[in-house]
Amino acid sequence: MNIKKYDQLSDNEKRHLIEKLYEQDKKSFKDIADMVGTYSNKVRRDAIKFKINIRDKSSAQKNALNSGKHCHPTKGKIRDDTTKTKIGLGVLQAWERLSDNELTQRKLIAKNNWENLSDDQKKNMHNKATNAVRHSSKVGSKLEKFLLHNLLADGYTVNFHQEQILSNTKLQIDLFIPSINLAIEVDGPSHFLPVWGEDALKRNQSYDQKKEGLLIGKGLKLIRIKQTKDFSKSRSQIIYSKLKEHIENIKNNKLTNNILTIED
């Protein structure tokens, strides 16, 4: 393609050039600037002047990946758990630094995305969530298994989903450390929000109160972990650090309360 130097073009020629190379051929402003002997910011300013839609950062990155100009930063790379945890903590900290206005905007986007789903898509997601909750109640949630794995790795003997400790009941303890008479309960959102309706919430809370009374009546200590967010290893590591701190205090007789709460 025989292209004149950019400064030699009329405004009409510049507009057609940018429309052709930027909009149709998906070239970047830098690509265009290199082709016509100028600099990218000058091409960008003219694109704005000619009311040409500028690609946002996400679209520009996707275009660069599709064109083969850039390689995907994570595709094909294998990271160990330590690196994954560091990345997860970085993302978590970035979310915590968001202002109330930014959080509100993200919630609105999520709400709009949900409302734009078809009825079939919503029903499918609801069914998957219901099945996941039922499965977790039988085999343990991801957070429960994460805590179990770390407690065992740190040398604790842990009974998982045990019924026998509460005789004559079918109430299970999520995690029980017999050496310090400690019961650990992981409470998902259905324990404090009407996820499945008000009646289900009342049943869950009644169940929790009954279990709590039986545990304290047997002289056990209880740590409740209130899980308000979806599982992530980085967030779970923070929860585990808090749990270990409480366990150490119990071992050293530094706690007077029989019931403690950890909230993620």
Q: What is the pLDDT of residues 148-192, one digit of tens each?
A: 999 999 999 999 887 666 666 667 889 999 999 999 999 988 888
**Positions in the chain short of pLDDT 70:** 1-3, 64-65, 67-82, 84-89, 91-93, 95-96, 129-140, 163-170
**Domain 140-263 of CATH type 3.40.960.10:** yes
Listed by start position, the domains of the chain span 10-67, 81-135, 140-263
Q: What is the pLDDT of residue 176?
A: 93
Q: What is the pLDDT of residue 115?
A: 83
DSSP H helices, 74-197, are 81-96, 100-115, 119-139, 142-153
Q: What is the pLDDT of residue 88?
A: 63
- The residue among 175, 185, 172, 187 whose CA lies nearest residue 133 is 187
